[in-house]
Amino acid sequence: MVISKILHLSPEEIQNESTSDSIEAWDSLSHMKIILALEEEFCIRFEDAQIGDMTSVSKIFSIVESKL
Amino acid sequence: MPSFSEVLAYKFASASTDKIDFEISRLRDYCTATIRSLRSRTDAPILWLSFEPIAWPSYGIFDSVSTHSQRDIISYLNSFLSSELNRAGNAWLVDTGICLERVGASHFYDWRYWHLSRAPYSRKACAEIAHELLKHVRALSGRVRKCLVLDCDNTLWGGVIGEDGLKGIKIGNSHPGIAYREFQLAVLELFSRGVILCLCSKNNECDVLEVLRHHTEMVLRESHFSAIRVNWRDKVANLREIASELNIGLDSLVFVDDSDFELSLVKQFLPDIATLKVSRDSPFENRLVLAQCGLFDTHSITKEDGARAKMYASEAMRKQISRQSTNLEEYLHTLEMRLCVAPVKQDDLDRAVQLCQRTNQFNLTCTRYTRDQLLSLLNSDNALLLLLRLSDRFGDYGTVGFCMIKLDAMQAHVDTFLISCRALGRGAESAFLALSIEAVSRKNVRIVTARYVQSGKNSQVKDFYTKHGFPTVSRREEEVNYCIDLQALRLSVPSHFKEATLEY
């Protein structure tokens, strides 16, 4: 939900396999917005390396889960 | 700063003096070239974010005593930038340093974003910078508030005067009254800048007046307030009345209260009024609510501003006399008004710009000239820029009117004609027009043209030129054009003015 809202896409348009390369709206600015929004939503703080690794929806899931 | 200069931000101690000097001149050239190039393409306002101060200088505690201080170089660059922007006109430096101080450098940056995307600011920093930009934009678009309307109980003082009494309310130099005293001091700061003060509260009027007159710890007194509405009617009606009594729009008001009920009522029925909530539970924050809002911020503060709030207060005395006089003409005579019309000089330019930007009601065309535009007109021979000053036996109104007449051979066109609302209802507009046209008549002018452009707020002046004998030559939906032979104009200064001079 957080990701689709920021990319202005419906949740159906985003799959687990979606990556920053497969979705056009997922540019560097959106990437930052997604990170900020996730940090706020789940009250977590990502490490530098994790931010760089969050290039697909599935990776985001696993990184967020590891933080909760 | 890091994105702008690696040398100044990261290599300051390792770089040679030559290298640093070269870097400074590179940044100066960059600023100058960018500002010039922007200005050559557009007259639009320029807002430039300043270089942020360096919170952790390379030389540590030595930096502040060094003759070659990293932090001094940043402030030098900022003052250079500020003077370049000033030279370009209609351009301002937005102080990111002050944003950094408010947020604190430890919370201002998020280095992860800096490393990933070259975006150094944290969310908090972005919000603070955005708010600072908003203040500039508000000032540029003329949406500046003029009047602060205050609640009493739990706003000006802690507690309820009707229940706690004069000795029971909290106001003074020690806890807990000090929070309210500091809030009042912040209000007084705004008053001194020219913000008009009013009271709007649900109390018995005599209780509140007793506090204003006799409580020894009060900072604000009766004489600071231009309108007082202390009664049990609803605040929406009272606020409407305050605006019409002061002759200002609802969109000039800021309303402060501690009650969510009152605030949401005002928000719902008078959405043009800005509202601020003060806290009953943490009153120590209330001073900052006022200091942070920026709703009254402008790019220039003239001496008229400083005196404005006082002038509104003396207006109350005039009103008393007005009740004693039997008719308006007699009343106007008793005021012993003096007016003076004189060309705009370099020193008055800011006031002329301010009048153009802010006057809504008595403004025939509402063209919002910028300082630069007026300056170039002032320096040309094709325009006459006049200011009206007014005073009476109660005090000086200051500079209250501006008129700009464009000259083209034997034709004069009244391009701008406006009068500040605080000077209305006294015949000053007729006198100002008469003297302005007299100034023009010394220029070998034969024909006078004028124009009314409807703006939404200036309908009270739609017949102004007609009443003064100008025949209509064309009329479109929002615009009326007038033209008359100068010889045919019969204008005069109304007889109730004790003195009317044209310094031209």
Residues of chain B contacting residue A45, judged by C-beta atoms under 8 Å apart: none
Residue of chain B nearest A47, judged by CA positions: B112
In sequence order, the β-bridge partners of residue B198 are: B149, B227
Mean pLDDT (whole number) for B290-313: 84
Looking at A58-67, B2-11, B251-260, which range is the least confident one?
B2-11
Closest by Cα among A37, A36, A63, A31 to A50: A63
pLDDT digits (tens, 9 = 90+) for B420-451: 887 887 889 999 999 999 999 888 889 999 99
Q: Is A36 on the interface with B (CB under 8 A)?
A: yes
In this prediction, residue B323 has a pLDDT band, given cuts at 50, 70 and 90, of low
**Average pLDDT, stretch B198-217?**
94
Residues on chain A touching B113 (C-beta within 8 angstroms): 32
The pLDDT assigned to B332 comes to 83
Q: pLDDT above 70 covers what percent of chain A?
A: 100
Instruction: State CA B341 to chain mean position distance.
Output: 24
- pLDDT over 80 at B317, yes or no: no
d(CA A43, CA A38): 8
Instruction: Indicate the residue type of A51.
Output: I
Contacts of A28 in chain B (CB under 8 A): 116-117
- Alpha-carbon distance of A47 to A44, in angstroms, equals 10
Q: Which residues of A23-42 are buried (b: 16+ CB within 10 A; e: fewer)?
A: beebeeebbbbbbbebbeee
Question: What's the rounded Cα separation, in Å, for the pair A34 and B23?
Answer: 36
pLDDT digits (tens, 9 = 90+) for B364-413: 999 999 888 999 999 888 999 999 999 887 778 889 999 999 999 889 99
Encoded amino acid at B399, one letter: T
Strands of B234-300 (E only): list them: 253-257, 274-277
pLDDT of B339: 94
Is the backbone of residue B503 left (phi > 0), alpha (psi -120 to 50) or beta? beta
DSSP B107-123: HHB-HHHHHHHS--B-H
Closest chain B CA to residue A50: B112
Determine the distance in angstroms separating the CA of B300 from the nearest CA of chain A, rounded to an integer. Answer: 37
Q: For chain B, what percent of residues have pLDDT higher than 70? A: 97
**What CA–CA distance (Å, rounded) separates B468 from B363?**
16
Whether the CB-CB separation of B386 and B407 falls below 8 Å is answered with: no
Tell me the pLDDT band of B69, cut-offs 50, 70 and 90.
Answer: very high
pLDDT at B219 (0 to 100): 96
Q: In sequence order, which residues have a C-beta less than 8 Å from that of residue B380 and are 6 or more positions away?
A: none
pLDDT at B314 over 80: no
- The Cα-based distances of B158 to B150, B164, B183, B234, B259 in angstroms read 14, 10, 11, 22, 13
* Residue B464 identity: F
pLDDT exceeds 80 at position B352: yes
Residue from B242, B229, B180, B170 nearest B203 by CA:
B229
Chain B positions in Cβ-Cβ contact with residue A52 (cut-off 8 Å): 116
Q: Sorting pLDDT into bands at 50, 70 and 90, what band is B346?
A: confident
> What whole-number distance in Å separates Cα of residue B148 and Cα of residue B340?
31
**Helix (H) or strand (E) segment spanning residue B238:** helix B235-246
Question: Is the pLDDT score of B193 beyond 60?
Answer: yes
Q: Which two tokens stand for residue B421?
A: 């609302």
φ, ψ (nearest 5 deg) of residue B92: -135, 150
In this prediction, the answer to ipTM > 0.90 reads: no
Question: Looking at the predicted structure, is the pLDDT value of residue B301 above 70?
Answer: yes
Q: What is the dihedral of CA B70, B76, B80, B86, to 10 degrees?
A: 120
Residue B236 has a pLDDT of 94
B284 touches chain A (CB under 8 A): no
DSSP 8-class letter at B478: S
CA distance B235 to B251: 16
CA B421, CA B401: separation in Å to the nearest integer? 9
Is B303's Cβ below 8 Å from some Cβ in A? no
- Give yes or no for B65 touching A (CB within 8 A): no
Q: Best-predicted range by mean pLDDT among A60-64, B246-250, B252-256?
A: B252-256
pTM: 0.70
Contact B116 A51 (CB under 8 A): yes
Chain B environment of A29 (Cβ under 8 Å): 117
Residues of B with Cβ-Cβ distance to A46 under 8 angstroms: 112
Please tell me the distance in Å from A51's CA to the nearest CA on chain B.
8
With 90 as the cut, is the pLDDT of residue B38 above it?
Answer: yes
Question: Distances in Å between the alpha carbon of B424 and those of A60, B150, B480?
Answer: 65, 26, 22
Q: How far from each other are the two terminal CA atoms of chain B, in whole angstroms?
A: 52
Q: Does B114 touch chain A (CB under 8 A)?
A: no
- Cβ contacts of residue B469 below 8 Å, gap of 6+? B484, B488, B489, B490, B491
Q: Give the span between the Cα atoms of B60 and B370, in whole angstroms.
A: 45
Q: What is the DSSP string of B27-83?
A: HHHHHHHHHHHHHHH--S-EEEEPPPPPSS-TTGGGTTT-SS-HHHHHHHHHHHHHH
Cβ B254 vs Cβ B293: under 8 Å: yes
Residues contacting B58, CB < 8 A, separation 6+: B12, B13, B70
The sign of the dihedral angle between the CA atoms of B428, B430, B436, B442 is negative
Q: Percentage of residues in chain B with pLDDT exceeding 90?
A: 70
CA distance B163 to B28: 63
Chain B positions touching A31 (Cβ under 8 A) are: 116-117
Chain A and chain B share a number of CB contacts under 8 A equal to: 17
Q: What is the pLDDT of residues B83-113, one digit of tens each?
A: 999 999 999 999 999 999 999 999 999 888 8
Tokens of B23: 């870097």
Q: Does B112 touch chain A (CB under 8 A)?
A: yes
Average pLDDT score over residue span B69-73: 95
pLDDT at B303 over 80: no
Residue B324 pLDDT > 80, yes or no? no
Q: Residue B51's Cα: distance from chain center in Å?
A: 27
Please name the member of B112, B119, B123 whose beta carbon is closest to the beta carbon of A48: B112
- Summarize pLDDT for B271-287 with one digit per residue, the tens: 999 999 999 999 999 99
Asked if B61 reaches chain A (Cβ–Cβ under 8 Å), the answer is no
Looking at residue B249, its pLDDT comes to 92
Q: Does A37 touch chain B (CB under 8 A)?
A: no
CB proximity list for B64: less than 8 A, separation 6 or greater: B71
Average pLDDT, chain B: 91
DSSP letter at B169? S
Contact B112 A46 (CB under 8 A): yes
User: What backbone phi and psi angles, to 5 degrees, belong to B472?
Assistant: -75, 135
